[in-house]
Amino acid sequence: MSQAVPEPITKVVEAFSRLPGVGPKTASRLTYFLLRAPEDYSLGLAQALTNLKAQTRFCSRCFNITVADPCPICAAADRDADTIAVVEEPLDLLAIERTGIFRGRYHVLHGAISPVDGIGPDDLKIRQLSDRVQKEGTREVIIATNPGMEGDATAMYVQRELAGSGVTITRLARGLPSGGDLEYVDSITLMRALEGRSEL
């Protein structure tokens, strides 16, 4: 940045720029907004960020982000302990929870296998999933990784790891979006919809 910009501002702009989806211009706008905002607003944000790191941890069972261990989902007696949905990230867990349909438990891998990014199976919570399935006597594992090369590679690896464990392994259905027109659907989505068709 220019010499006309004080170092504290430069450091905050650089910190914001490292956030996903935040470019240099947005980082500058956020920084200057905080400069003009009331002091308690900026201090409140700083305290919230400090608390975010200090007060959260990973659940020792499912590896979701939590304040208490085990997390509320793992601790809930009304959840189906025999079914585990395997997701890539905590945000994927939240998306499934918003539906209000799934009443099982979760396992968060914290990523997907991506050799290009240097992420292998040992960088994810796959071994912990395998140990958990054996220890807890899980009946079904629903692989809910994202569609795409990394998600599919991760799903195949998880399936291989759990083969022979006696657990039923399922994958989230894929296909046509509700309200979508066939003419606008890409060929891979259409192919998967045809492969995953069900009887009426």
User: Does position 190 have pLDDT exceeding 90, yes or no?
Assistant: no
Which residue spans within 10-151 are E strands per DSSP?
Answer: 57-58, 65-66, 80-87, 104-108, 140-143
Tens-place pLDDT, residues 84-99: 999 999 999 999 999 8
Which residues, 6+ apart, have CB-to-CB distance to 141 below 8 Å? Answer: 83, 84, 85, 86, 129, 133, 158, 162, 167, 168, 169, 170
For the chain, strand residue ranges (E) read 57-58, 65-66, 80-87, 104-108, 140-143, 168-171
The mean pLDDT of 50-75, rounded to a whole number, is: 97
- H/E element holding 131? helix 126-136
**Whole-number pLDDT of residue 1:** 56
Burial code of 97-117, b = ≥16 C-beta within 10 A, e = fewer? Answer: eeeeebebbbbbbbbbbbeee
Domains and CATH numbers, the chain: 7-55 (1.10.8.420), 78-171 (3.40.1360.10)
pLDDT value at residue 90: 97
pLDDT at residue 196 in the model: 76
CA–CA dist 61, 63 (Å, integer): 6
Q: What is the pLDDT of residue 133?
A: 97
Q: What is the mean pLDDT of the chain?
A: 92
pLDDT at position 200 over 70: no
pLDDT of 184: 80
How many Å separate Cα 185 from the centre of its chain?
25
Determine the Cα–Cα distance for residues 174 and 151; give it in Å rounded to an integer: 13
Predicted structure pTM score: 0.85
Query: Is residue 198 predicted with pLDDT exceeding 80?
Result: no
